[in-house]
């Protein structure tokens, strides 16, 4: 499964760089993290039935960190 995610990210990044058409890339790290983190949080919260403690356990992060990320992405 993780190899599928890796390949999806790899293809998307290759397409991103190809489509720049001579423009200089900027803040790629943050762009990728934000592109992946928000949908991951949405899916995991749904899987956890909205329970932040369960979602934090699934993600392997503290509930406080999860809550901060949910606020950052306006998911609360």
Question: For residues 66 and 59, is the Cβ–Cβ distance under 8 A?
Answer: yes
**If 0-12 CB within 10 Å is exposed, 13-18 middle and 19+ buried, where does residue 52 land?**
middle
> pLDDT tens, 32-64?
999 999 999 999 999 999 999 999 999 999 999
Domain that includes residue 54, residue range: 2-72
Q: CA 67 to CA 7: how far, in whole Å? A: 29
Compute the average pLDDT of residues 13-40: 94
pLDDT score of 52: 98
Give me the helix-helix angle, 2-19 and 28-47, nearest 10°. 140
CATH number of the domain bearing residue 37? 1.10.10.60
Compute the average pLDDT of residues 15-41: 94
pLDDT score of 63: 98
Q: CA 31 to CA 53: how far, in whole Å? A: 27
Domain count of the fold of the chain:
1
Compute the average pLDDT of residues 8-21: 94
pLDDT score of 2: 80
In this model, does residue 1 exceed pLDDT 90? no
């Amino acid at each position: 499964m993780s190899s599928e995610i890796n390949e999806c990210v790899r293809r998307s990044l290759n397409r991103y760089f190809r489509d720049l058409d001579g423009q200089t890339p900027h803040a790629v790290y943050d762009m990728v993290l934000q592109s992946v983190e928000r949908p991951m949080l949405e899916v995991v919260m749904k899987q956890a039935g909205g329970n932040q403690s369960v979602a934090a356990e699934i993600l392997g992060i503290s509930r406080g960190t999860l809550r901060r990320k949910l606020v950052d992405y306006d998911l609360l």
